[in-house]
Chains A and B, each alone.
Chain A
Amino acid sequence: MIEIIDLHKKLGENDVLTGVNLSIKKGETLTIMGQSGCGKSVLLKHLVGILKPDKGTIKIDGIDIVNDKRIRLSDIRKKFGVLFQNSALFDSMTVWENIGFMLKEHKKLPDSKIKKIVTEKLALVGLKDIEDKSPHELSGGMQKRVALARAISMEPEIVLYDEPTTGLDPIMAEIINELIISLSKKLSITSVVVTHDIRSAYEISDRIAFLYGGKITQLGLKEDIKHTTDPKLRQFLDGSATGPIKL
């Protein structure tokens, strides 16, 4: 279980997060929606300790990852898999080296065993025979799927998805959505998705949170969110240029 408690973060002169409170249950898929630049990715980076909050805290399975000096952040990070918006594959490595990176670093497995696991993970995301290719030889959609295979290589408890469908064509976006759903079911993963793709959010989420003005202003089951009467969330879901949200 992930608990975000009164999280504040200022970047430069901007108050990006101004008191985020959110609980994410084990095994659920929760999507955080909001406008571009509202702080969704910043919030996600806090969950895995890349950014430190100015105030507030985050608890992962009851462990305070912000203030508890006894814990090693690297141990907590091993519970996570992260899919970055731009895939963030290591361009100096091949596909199998990318996916096998954590296995080599933390489990010290021999190359033959790593290659076997890599092939299994690639099959899970619907890819095969690309182990020796470099990331730049792959299309955007394939890079995303390889990055997803890398994110689940250590069989993490929690997977964070940062804009998983951004920049993909509708068919590839649908493939990624289905992968997120099937992986969370097959591997019993807790998934936290950050996106402004409403269609994707409806499809993959159990619950949806709306980040606005640095706070979670709405949170509910996706059916409740779909029929919300909150004017700001309504404007966002309808994609209307006029309304209470000022640009």
Chain B
Amino acid sequence: MFIFEWIGKKILNFLNNFGLITRFFLTALKWLFRKPFRWKILVEQMVKVGVETLPVALITSGFTGMIFVVQLYLALKSFGLEAAVPAGLALAVIRELAPVLAGLVMAGRVGAAMAAELGSMRVTSQIDALKTMAVDPIHYLVTPRIFATVVMMTAITTITDFTGIFGGYVVGTVAFDLNPYQFYQDVINILEPWDIISSMIKGAVFGFFISTISCYMGFNSKGGAEGVGEATTNAVVTSMIVLLIVDYLLNLILW
């Protein structure tokens, strides 16, 4: 009996949180189309999200492309299939590695920062202060963050698509003597426009989930420093798990 009670409570808790996050996002979405448009905050957030994420995302995707080519070359060489390395690299990076790695970096850096900032504002009454000043805190704090993250995540995913392939290209042509022109041609030939578009869609969807979950966790944090820490950890862990689940679902839908 105890196990069923436990499972039931967990399911109810999940559904409750799912409903609350959905309502939270719908409120943020409603404010996107209402005046005043907060362009200044939006641009500030886009710069912040980009600056925080891009360098780490570039390093991660570049090195992952390099490592991927090393392993792929060694694996395919034993079958005499090393010519398939560029195509394998391009598909893996664009369809999977670039958006997922950019998403995980985004969750770790931007998600944590958003949850911590909003959590800190919650426990020091700054969010209540906004309300008393007749400013809706979701409009002021959350809507620009979600929108900025979606836009920047799309852009960063596109950039990491290319750095990932470039990393693999450098290792493939320098370390394994693959023909540079043939490498380039193989990459171009295997890729379809839809691969790039779907990679961008993945990035945008990941950005949406990361920012919504992180803002929600921070916005609803309780207690003092401990509550902010808990909200930050929950934001990162939940964002990463949701990102991987959504990634699987998107793979079923997009290809």
Chain A contacts to B: CB under 8 angstroms: 45, 48-50, 74-75, 77-78, 80, 82, 84-86, 88-91, 101-102, 105-106
- The smallest C-beta distance from B50 to any residue of chain A, in angstroms, reads 18
Interface size on B, residues (CB 8 A): 13
Contact A88 B129 (CB under 8 A): yes
Contact B134 A75 (CB under 8 A): yes
Contacts of A74 in B (CB 8 A): 134-136
B120 nearest in chain A by CB position:
A91
Q: Identify the 7 closest CB pairs spanning chains A and B, nearest first.
A: A88-B125, A74-B134, A77-B134, A88-B129, A82-B132, A84-B125, A102-B133
- The smallest C-beta distance from B2 to any residue of chain A, in angstroms, reads 24
Q: Which of B128, B129, B132 has the most CB of A within 10 A?
A: B132
Contacts of A75 in B (CB 8 A): 134
Cα separation A132 to B126 with both chains bound (whole Å): 19
Contact A86 B132 (CB under 8 A): no
Given A48-B131, A89-B129, 16 more A-B residue pairs with CB atoms under 8 Å apart are: A49-B131, A50-B131, A74-B136, A77-B132, A82-B129, A82-B132, A84-B129, A86-B124, A86-B125, A88-B126, A88-B128, A101-B135, A105-B133, A105-B134, A105-B135, A106-B134
Contacts of A82 in B (CB 8 A): 129, 132
Cα separation A174 to B247 with both chains bound (whole Å): 60
Would you list which residues of chain B between 232 and 254 have a CB under 8 Å from chain A?
Answer: none
Cα separation A56 to B120 with both chains bound (whole Å): 32
- The smallest C-beta distance from A18 to any residue of chain B, in angstroms, reads 23
Contacts of B129 in A (CB 8 A): 82, 84, 88-90
- The smallest C-beta distance from A190 to any residue of chain B, in angstroms, reads 15
Contact A84 B128 (CB under 8 A): yes
| Interface 1/0 per residue, B145-167 and A, CB below 8 Å | 00000000000000000000000
- The smallest C-beta distance from A194 to any residue of chain B, in angstroms, reads 14
Contact A80 B125 (CB under 8 A): no
Cα separation A85 to B124 with both chains bound (whole Å): 9
How many A-B pairs with Cβ below 8 Å? Answer: 46
| Of B120, B124, B128, B136, the contact of A50 (CB 8 Å cutoff) | B128
- The smallest C-beta distance from A205 to any residue of chain B, in angstroms, reads 22
Contact B132 A50 (CB under 8 A): yes
Question: Could you pull out 25 A-B pairs where Cβ atoms are within 8 angstroms?
Answer: A48-B132, A49-B131, A50-B128, A50-B132, A74-B134, A74-B135, A77-B132, A77-B134, A84-B125, A84-B129, A85-B125, A86-B125, A88-B128, A88-B129, A89-B129, A90-B121, A90-B129, A91-B120, A91-B124, A101-B135, A102-B133, A102-B134, A105-B134, A105-B135, A106-B134
Q: Which of B120, B124, B125, B134 has the most CB of A within 10 A?
A: B134
- The smallest C-beta distance from B4 to any residue of chain A, in angstroms, reads 26
Contacts of A80 in B (CB 8 A): 132
- The smallest C-beta distance from B94 to any residue of chain A, in angstroms, reads 37
Contact B134 A88 (CB under 8 A): no
B127 nearest in chain A by CB position:
A88
Contacts of A48 in B (CB 8 A): 131-132
Contact B133 A101 (CB under 8 A): yes
B117 nearest in chain A by CB position:
A92
Cα separation A80 to B135 with both chains bound (whole Å): 13
- The smallest C-beta distance from A2 to any residue of chain B, in angstroms, reads 15
Contacts of A77 in B (CB 8 A): 131-134
- The smallest C-beta distance from B220 to any residue of chain A, in angstroms, reads 15
Contact A88 B124 (CB under 8 A): yes
Q: Which of B128, B131, B133 has the most CB of A within 10 A?
A: B133
Contact B134 A78 (CB under 8 A): yes
Q: Which of A48, A50, A85, A88 has the most CB of B within 10 A?
A: A88
Cα separation A101 to B135 with both chains bound (whole Å): 10
